[in-house]
Amino acid sequence: MPSQQSEPPDARLARLRGPQPPQPYTARKITALTANPACARRAVLDAAGVDKALLAQHVGYEPRFGQSPFALAREKAFHGLVKWGGYAELIRLLREQLSVPVAEAHVTDLNEVGGNTALQVRERETRRLIAHVASGQDVRLILDRPVLTLEVAGQTAYLEPDALTHRIEGKFHVVLIRSFAAIDGQANPTAVAEAAKQAAVYVLALRRAFDAASLPTEQISHRFLLVCPKDFSNRPYGSLIDLRQELDALQFQLSRLRRAEDLTAGLPETATLDTTRSTDELSSSIEALDASYTPSCLSFCEMARYCRDEADGCASPARLGNGVRNDLPGIDSTRTALDYLDGVAAPGEAEAEAADLLRAAARLRRLRRGAA
């Protein structure tokens, strides 16, 4: 990625990263970033392609999460099963549940193009093939692992949806294959929401590709096909899930994201995120980037534990969750809030209302305790 871009901002990001190869920008990272758009730390780390797990380890916070090897193996096995025998199960699914005619069985494997697996090459081939299919020159039922691009925070992300299908109601549908079970047609809602967010990223990337090729974007469905194991068996089951809400949210968040280069411009010249450097250097550079910690970070960010300790240190209200943060508008520390309650400090004009509410809450609490 960096070889083709030689403008100063990218060079700055590359310099921050140091000699390590950059980590690719994935759909997972984009959804994490849009889940917490105020986090400059994550934006810069991802844009620079820093290995966050390694970085967290270097500054003394071994990330305790990560994908379980069992889950990964299961996911891989299920993928293999769905695509087994020339996508037989996927074709059956499309035929039985989405009434695709039998004559439609054209597939193209975009995992490699003529023996070449480079993302750029696959992306060009994907674009060419989509243009052919969209303009009706060619027919494809399934495109296996196409490559799409999306501009995120001034960086180009290469995205690989599990598959694309063109033959449901004559529209392009993104296909996601996930290994959590759908029991009686009901799957774990958190997992589905996660998948939907990722699918929204792919749909958006697909729209950009259509725009770039000046093709009509009406051909892209606002639903995606989620394929997961049916009940307690291993047979794939599929359902179309509406994405309009996720798409709107994602578009809004992406438009709000500040460009990573602007964020790095505020860093001191000596800043580095090179994981071979000393812990002190790294810590001071990380501190220079504003984080916006919320407890939900723990479930998707490798740096979360570092940020949590930092939030603990400055008694940030967000450390206790979004509810507490929203109850304390304008008050940036729980210590200040306590001072207001104890009458040690007087709240300013902007904080008066919040302080009044807090006092009322404290009084109620005392009353209740007295009654009990």
Partner 1 sequence: MAVSLEELERRLSHLRTELREAVRARDKAETTRIRRALREAEAAWEHALESESESESESETGPDDEALLTEPPAPRASATADAPRRKERPTHGSIPIREQVHQALTLLGAPASPKLISSTYEAFFTESLVATKLASLRRDEERSFTAQGYARPYYICAALTHDRLVPARGLLALSTWPVERRIIGPLSPRADFLTHTVGTAEQIQRLTTAGHPAPDAAWRLLRRFALTIPGAYDAAAPEPDPARVITAAYAEATVHQQEDGQQRQAAAQRARTQLADVQQLFGAAPMRDALRDASGTLS
Per CB under 8 A, residues contacting partner 1 are 80, 84-89, 91-92, 95, 102-103, 105-109, 111-116, 121, 124, 128-129, 132, 138-140, 235
**Number of neighbours of residue 28 by Cβ within 10 angstroms:** 14
- Closest separation between CB of residue 199 and partner 1, Å? 25
- Closest separation between CB of residue 230 and partner 1, Å? 12
| Nearer Cβ to partner 1 (25/87) | 87
- Closest separation between CB of residue 229 and partner 1, Å? 14
- Closest separation between CB of residue 117 and partner 1, Å? 9
List the one residue out of 168, 238, 246, 236 whose CA is nearest residue 203: 246
| Nearer Cβ to partner 1 (91/328) | 91
| Nearer Cβ to partner 1 (164/297) | 164
| Nearer Cβ to partner 1 (103/371) | 103
| Nearer Cβ to partner 1 (139/213) | 139
| Nearer Cβ to partner 1 (24/86) | 86
- Closest separation between CB of residue 112 and partner 1, Å? 6
- Closest separation between CB of residue 118 and partner 1, Å? 9
- Closest separation between CB of residue 57 and partner 1, Å? 30
| Nearer Cβ to partner 1 (90/201) | 90
